[in-house]
Chains A and B, each alone.
Chain A
Amino acid sequence: GQQLNQSPQSMFIQEGEDVSMNCTSSSIFNTWLWYKQDPGEGPVLLIALYKAGELTSNGRLTAQFGITRKDSFLNISASIPSDVGIYFCAGPSGGYQKVTFGTGTKLQVIP
Chain B
Amino acid sequence: EAGVAQSPRYKIIEKRQSVAFWCNPISGHATLYWYQQILGQGPKLLIQFQNNGVVDDSQLPKDRFSAERLKGVDSTLKIQPAKLEDSAVYLCASSLGRGGSNEQFFGPGTRLTVL
A43 engages B43 (CB within 8 Å):
yes
Whether a CB of chain A sits under 8 angstroms from the CB of B72 is no
User: Closest residue to A32 on the B side, CB-wise?
Assistant: B102
Whether a CB of chain B sits under 8 angstroms from the CB of A99 is yes
Of the candidates B45, B91, B105, the one whose C-beta lies within 8 Å of that of A45 is B105
B56 engages A45 (CB within 8 Å):
no
Residues of A close to B108: CB separation below 8 A: 40-42
A42 engages B106 (CB within 8 Å):
yes
B104 engages A45 (CB within 8 Å):
yes
Taking the closest CB of chain B, its distance from the CB of A102, in whole angstroms, is 6
Indicate with 1 or 0, residue by residue over A44-83, a CB within 8 angstroms of chain B CB atoms.
1100100000000000000000000000000000000000
Of the candidates B50, B100, B104, B105, the one whose C-beta lies within 8 Å of that of A99 is B104
Q: How many residues of B contact A (CB 8 A)?
A: 27
B50 engages A96 (CB within 8 Å):
yes
Residues of B close to A95: CB separation below 8 A: 48, 55-56
Q: How many residues of A contact B (CB 8 A)?
A: 23
**Which A residues form the contact surface with B (CB < 8 A)?**
4, 31, 33, 40-45, 48, 88, 90, 92, 95-104
> Given contacts A45-B104, A103-B41, could you give 12 more A-B pairs where the C-beta distance is less than 8 Å?
A31-B102, A40-B111, A41-B108, A42-B4, A42-B91, A95-B48, A96-B50, A96-B55, A98-B55, A101-B42, A103-B42, A104-B40
Interchain Cβ contacts under 8 Å between A and B, 26 examples: A31-B100, A31-B102, A33-B103, A42-B4, A42-B91, A42-B107, A43-B91, A43-B106, A45-B104, A48-B103, A88-B43, A90-B42, A90-B102, A95-B48, A95-B56, A96-B55, A97-B48, A97-B55, A98-B48, A98-B55, A99-B102, A100-B45, A101-B42, A103-B42, A104-B41, A104-B42
**Which B residues form the contact surface with A (CB < 8 A)?**
4, 31, 40-45, 48, 50, 55-56, 91, 93, 95, 97, 100-109, 111
A-B complex: 4 closest residue pairs judged by Cβ atoms: A42-B106, A101-B42, A101-B43, A43-B106
